[in-house]
């Protein structure tokens, strides 16, 4: 977990090998807009067919999650003021969750594959992102 100078949780790094001994580990607090959990169900577990209801959500913050499926990514983490906090190497199975603050990613290996998840909609780079800090 990476916290800002005022103690706010900015980023969470979840390693593929760092399994929790419980069936469900909620990475994000229930008050966050992006809900991320590591689920390790027992064999035979079934989830009934369902759909998620549409709630009127007041989303005041965009949060993002990257899952490295293959290869490796160097992640650069920043606080909310654009100050670099640290760098980390993410490899297959690792997850990076940005709740607040900023980040930059650098692809290290050919054929790296990542899955990006964030609350949307995505309205294009110019309207969706603000550059901060130094480049990677």
Instruction: Give pLDDT tens digits for 98-118.
Output: 999 999 999 999 999 999 898
136 confidence band (pLDDT: 50, 70, 90): low
pLDDT above 90 for 86: yes
Pick the closest to residue 103 from 72, 82, 122, 126 (CA basis): 82
Q: Helices (DSSP H) in the chain: which residue ranges?
A: 125-128
105 within some domain: yes
96 within some domain: yes
pTM of the model: 0.81
89 within some domain: yes
**What whole-number distance in Å separates Cα of residue 45 and Cα of residue 71?**
30
55 within some domain: no
For 16, the domain range is 2-41+60-124
The per-residue pLDDT for range 16-74, each reduced to its tens digit, is 877 666 778 888 888 888 888 888 888 888 888 888 787 776 777 888 999 999 999 99
Quote the DSSP letter at residue 41.
Answer: P
Task: Report helix, strand or coil for 127.
Answer: helix
**What whole-number distance in Å separates Cα of residue 93 and Cα of residue 70?**
8
104 within some domain: yes
Pick the closest to residue 64 from 19, 90, 33 (CA basis): 33
47 within some domain: no
113 within some domain: yes
101 within some domain: yes
Number of structural domains found in the chain: 1
> Cβ(98)–Cβ(64) under 8 Å?
yes
134 confidence band (pLDDT: 50, 70, 90): low
């Amino acid at each position: 977990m990476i916290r800002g100078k005022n103690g706010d949780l900015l980023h969470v790094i979840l390693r593929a090998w760092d399994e929790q001994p419980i069936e469900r580990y909620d990475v994000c607090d229930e008050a966050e807009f992006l809900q991320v959990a590591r689920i390790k169900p027992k064999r035979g577990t079934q989830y009934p067919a369902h759909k998620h209801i549409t709630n009127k959500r007041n989303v005041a913050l965009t949060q993002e999650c990257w899952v490295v499926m293959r290869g490796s990514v160097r992640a650069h983490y920043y606080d909310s003021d654009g100050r670099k906090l640290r760098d980390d190497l993410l490899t297959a199975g690792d997850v990076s969750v940005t709740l607040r603050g900023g980040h930059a990613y650098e692809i290290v290996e050919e054929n790296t594959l990542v899955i990006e998840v964030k609350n949307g909609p995505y309205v294009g780079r110019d309207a969706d992102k603000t550059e901060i800090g130094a480049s990677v």
